[in-house]
Amino acid sequence: MARILLHCPLNISRTLEEMIKEYGSKMEKKHGLQIKVEVQPHRPTEKSLFARYQEEKILPELMIGHVNDFAELPDNFLHEHFQSLPGRFPLRKELVKAGFTDPQGYFHPFVIIPFTMFYNQNLVAEKDLPQSWEDLLDARWRQQILMPDEYRMVSRIIRTFMKAHYPDRFAAFQQNVIHQGAPIEVVNKVDQGV
């Protein structure tokens, strides 16, 4: 039996679960391979099944999850525990050009959620806006960057990105950030200039 673990937002995991179960029944009829789909909806405060399965050394055959599920794996973990499939799942040319291809063939994106910065134009002049993520490391933004609660996915992903790209200066980014509330609350606070 092959196990597939889905650790995605609820709106994505429901659809994927149905698609994989349908495909699984075809695989069973055609090849005699049973597929068990395990679903853990994303709950920011809950330990992921993937993390638990790593500890118990009972990894699934396929893992579909958030980037942060994989971001802090120990060195060589992928090479030791997963099969590389470079080129197996081709991407559109513009995504390849944008760098979404993993040349080693471990990661295959199927949903891309863009992250962006936004600001209150009454508090920050356009000429003073950060032009890149790296600009957010500057001390001038100390306690000026409002992000959702630390445990929320958007905050975890941005922290993972910043730590991966600026490991020597990551502490500066953390000093510049205030975590507070749900994403919509952050949007409202920025809009209100709070």
On whether the CB atoms of residues 81 and 59 are closer than 8 A, the answer is yes
- Averaged pLDDT, 146-169: 90
- Averaged pLDDT, 17-27: 90
Q: 6: which strand partners?
A: 39, 64
* 11 pLDDT more than 80: no
Average of per-residue pLDDT values in the chain: 88
Which pLDDT band holds residue 153 (cuts at 50, 70, 90)? Answer: confident
pLDDT per position as a tens digit, 135-148 = 999 999 999 999 99
Q: What's the whole-model pTM score?
A: 0.60
Task: Give the per-residue pLDDT at 74.
Answer: 84
Task: Give the per-residue pLDDT at 44.
Answer: 67
Which pLDDT band holds residue 10 (cuts at 50, 70, 90)? Answer: low
* 41 pLDDT more than 80: no
Q: How far apart are CA 181 and CA 189, in angstroms?
A: 10
Task: Give the per-residue pLDDT at 89.
Answer: 85
Q: What is the DSSP letter of 140?
A: G
Task: Give the per-residue pLDDT at 178.
Answer: 96
Range in 23-37, 112-126, 138-152, 176-190 with the lowest mean pLDDT: 112-126
More confident residue, 32 or 114: 32
Long-range CB contacts (within 8 A, 24+) of 156-164: 156/44, 156/68, 157/66, 157/67, 157/68, 157/115, 158/115, 160/67, 160/68, 160/71, 160/72, 161/115, 161/133, 162/133, 162/136, 162/137, 164/71
Q: In the chain, what percentage of residues exceed pLDDT 90?
A: 44
